[in-house]
Structure 1
Amino acid sequence: MDPREYRDARWHTLLRTAEDLGVEPEQAPTVVEQVLARQQARIRRAEDPDLLVRRALADAVLGPPDRPRSRRWPAVAALAIVVVAAGAVFALARPDAPPADHLRADQMPSLFGYDGAAASTLLKKRGLEVQQRPFRSCEVRDRVVASEPAAGAEISRGDHVVVYTALPADVSCLTDYAERQLAWEVLDWANGHGPAPSFAPRVWVYPSDGSAQLLTGAEAADPDSWRASHVLTALRRATADVALVQEHPLTYAVPALRIVAPTDGTNQCGEPDPSIGAKTNVVAFIIRSADRTGCPLRVELYRDRGERIESVALYPASS
């Protein structure tokens, strides 16, 4: 697995793990970065690096475990037999396998693309008791960065859940803070979590089929005006994506948002439209799929001198 993609997907979970091991919150990012740097080669070779990274993190914080002087093979073998037998009984009695590409109503929803207020509203509508806690993170303020339980865990009405929202640790933590904030604003609006971003009096929409649509500013602020282009539909689908990582414990991956340069990442996943590519005031972002395969969905927001969005170009995700 690509180490950078793994870092993007599991960063906040690893920070929480480090804190659970006793690391001070302000020191957790440094510790996690050091562990990830040392484990890059092993992460690259592993299909699912979670176990090896967690072990390395525990070793870095607590020290490596002492090796026993004798292996006591008979006891280990007996334990293995018990575990296998228990697993066989569980396999016979277990319910249907969890879905791999969506979450049921009795599972904790993915909170990717939510801020604290929207996440609380969603969870309370499902009958859950919600507590919000700030969490030092390199993310736009008040964006949800984690939850307890995590996405995909089985839940019931009345359960207590904790939503962790970003509290930027330093002003230099995110060098692209304003661009990332705009990307989240567009996604909030597309998903019905927030108001429309600032649109220019005329807005060109370039959907994935090569056509073009011209909207007035008032039309652009109305999600119904975007139905023909399917741009907002693509954004909703991308943010709702989940992927089953493992069944025991039940673990799901969610998408990742990244700000990119307008000229980056287009060689294999499509070139920008030359009719709008000459403009310079542009914010480009991608949404990586939960399973990190294929080309990510890519959006380019072109703005006028007043920072209002005057063109939107969509490059769809592909497997």
Structure 2
Amino acid sequence: MDLEDYRAARHHHLVEVAAGLGVPADRAAEVVDRVIEAQRRRILRSADPDEVVVPALRDEVLGRPSRGPTLAIAALVVVVAAAFAVPLLTAGPDPEEVERKAGTMPSLVGLTSEEAVVALRSIGIASRIDPVPQCDPAGQVLGSVPPAGGAVRPEQVVTVVATATPAWTCPRDTVQRDEAWAFLRFLVSGSGRPRLAREVRLYVDGQPAGTADGRQPATAPDWRWRVRDPVVASVVRPVANDLGQPVVSITRGPLPPVTCAVPTPRPSGVGPDPTRVVLTADADPREDGQGEVCQLTIDLFEDVAGAIAVVSVVIPGGTGLGPPPWVRTRDDLDDLDGRGAADGG
């Protein structure tokens, strides 16, 4: 294929791929041009130059295992460090400190790939990113090698497996997938910020569980007690699969009448097709008494403006008899207020 014909036809797409891998927008075109020039001879001989250029672009941006800090990581490390307030080691960590801290692989659920690199570096663990093309937004951590809970040798470079922009066409649900991942990060790591309504109605195990302020972080009491704590406790445990963390699946459409043996909420004032996020934590999941495989499920219902106005969470192992003990409903709070008044409080 003629080099200039290929450049004219695919340059814009390749710039989008580079940006999805973390290259700053004002540098993406420059990086793409450099990769095309470096692969000139292979492009001329190839029947499908994308099979040459896209892997070369990923190597250029993300680096091979033997390379040092990569372009994407170097460009974003200051931003990520500020967001997480994670101290970066400007010099190599003390060998004894590395040996002490690099004993067990931590969970990376709810981080982006760049955030994971920074977090691991802060505890003396070197890492590289292994991009896996998916239709989910680029840079979402899928797991690690070794998996969470696995042993890490002091000299080992662990692999962070993360989503990357695919070469194929994806379904037209990009916005919903972006929002779903942002909500997961909002809960677990605090780095995501989906579009939330001012007042978000909450359901836990099929029952109303009060409201939360959509302007507040997930560490605010209303979010934390009802949703964040039980979700985090469930998803950060090491999982018995190759990557050590739950497999995230995102769908959009009508919901089944029952989820994990409890009725699926049908809230008013929201659209009929919510986004469902399922986190599969079991390599060999067991069916419940009704033949349903029960996993942690988060349903995100949007209002007419497209903001998430209702969040429904089902925790595996729930009783199906309402919110678990850590959830304080409005009725509970009213009862407490009544008792306090009766006691003269």
TM-score bracket relative to the smaller structure:
0.5 to 0.7
Q: CA deviation at 1:228?
A: 6.5
Give the equivalent residue in structure 2 for 1:160: 157
Which residue of 2 is the match for residue 293 of structure 1?
286
Secondary structure at the counterpart of residue 202 of structure 2 = strand
Give the equivalent residue in structure 1 for 2:248. Answer: 257
What whole-Å deviation, never above 9, does each CA across 1:114-165 have from its counterpart, x for those lacking one? 3112211221122012223433344421122453434443113453223233
Match of 2:127 in 1: 130
| TM-score scaled by length of structure 2 | 0.52
Which residue number in structure 2 is paired with residue 52 of structure 1? none
Q: Structure 1 residues 149, 267: closer, same or farther in 2, change over 3 A?
A: closer
State the 1:194 CA deviation: 0.7
Aligned residue for 1:225? 221
The answer to whether the 8 A contact 2:103-2:152 is kept is yes
What are the ranges of 5 or more consecutive residues in structure 1 without an aligned counterpart?
A: 1-24, 27-103, 246-250
Opposite residue 236 of structure 1, the aligned amino acid is V
Partner-residue secondary structure (3-state), 2:207: coil
Cα RMSD, aligned residues only: 3.3
String of CA shifts for 1:5-49, please: whole Å, max 9, x gaps: xxxxxxxxxxxxxxxxxxxx96xxxxxxxxxxxxxxxxxxxxxxx
1:42-85 Cα offsets, whole Å, 9 max, x none, are xxxxxxxxxxxxxxxxxxxxxxxxxxxxxxxxxxxxxxxxxxxx
Match of 1:280 among 242, 262, 272: 272
Residue type at the aligned position of 1:233: D
- Structure 2: distance between partners of 1:180 and 1:232: 20
Distance 1:234 1:277 in 2: 26
Q: How far did 1:230 drift? A: 2.5
Q: Report the residue type matching 1:256 in the other structure.
A: V
Q: Distance in 2 between matches of 1:174 and 1:124?
A: 35
Pair 1:240 & 2:236 matched? yes
**Aligned match of 1:211:** 208
For the Cα contact (< 8 Å) 2:298–2:311, is it kept in 1? yes
- C-alpha contact (below 8 Å) 1:208/1:315 kept by paired residues: yes
Matches of 2:286 and 2:232, distance apart in 1: 18
Q: C-alpha distance in 2, partners of 1:265/1:168?
A: 34
Q: Secondary structure at the match of 2:118?
A: helix
Structure-2 change in CA distance of 1:270 and 1:276 (3 Å): farther
- Quote how far apart the aligned CAs of 1:266 are: 2.8
Partner amino acid for 1:239? V
Q: For residues 200-243 of structure 1, give each alpha carbon's deviation from its aligned partner in whole angstroms, at most 9, with x where no partner exists.
A: 12221122372331334334x45223356431112212321334
> Aligned AA for 1:257?
V
Match of 2:209, as an amino acid?
Answer: A
What fraction of aligned residue pairs are identical, expressed as a percent? 20
Q: Closer, same or farther in 2 for the Cα pair 1:157/1:109, shift >3 Å?
A: same
State the distance in 2 between where 1:270 and 1:172 align.
36
Which stretch of structure 1 is more off in the superposition, 150-159 or 234-243? Answer: 150-159
In structure 1, what is the Cα distance between the partners aligned to 2:181 and 2:109? 10
Cα distance in 1 for partners of 2:162, 2:121 equals: 16
2:104 is equivalent to residue 111 of structure 1: no
Kindly indicate whether the alpha-carbon contact (under 8 Å) linking 2:249 and 2:279 is maintained by their aligned counterparts in 1.
yes
Alignment length (residue pairs): 213
> Hey, what's the Cα distance between the residues in 2 that align with 1:167 and 1:198?
23
Matches within 5 A, 1:3-152: 106-152=103-149
Of 284-293 and 251-260, deviating more is 251-260
1:278-297 Cα shifts (integer Å, max 9, x gaps):
74252122212234235112
**Residue 110 of structure 1: CA displacement?**
3.6
Task: Give, in whole Å, the separation in 1 of the partners of 2:168 and 2:229.
Answer: 34
Q: Cα gap change, 1:155/1:283 in structure 2, threshold over 3 Å: closer, same or farther?
A: same
| Distance in 2 of aligned mates of 1:196 and 1:138 | 20
Q: Say if 1:171 and 1:229 are closer, same or farther in 2 by CA, change over 3 A.
A: farther
Question: Residues 277, 113 of structure 1: CA spacing in aligned structure 2 closer, same or farther, 3 A cutoff?
Answer: same
Q: Give TM-score, length-normalised by structure 1.
A: 0.56
Q: Secondary structure at the match of 2:215?
A: helix
* Cα distance in structure 2, aligned partners of 1:196 and 1:267: 26
Identify the residue that residue 39 of structure 1 maps to in structure 2.
Answer: none
Q: Of 164, 180, 184, which residue of structure 1 is paired with 2:181?
A: 184
Offset from partner CA, 1:170-202 (integer Å, 9 cap, x none) = 352455433222221111111124143222122
2: CA distance between counterparts of 1:302 and 1:153?
Answer: 37
Per the TM alignment, residue 252 of structure 1 is displaced from its structure 2 partner at its CA by 6.5
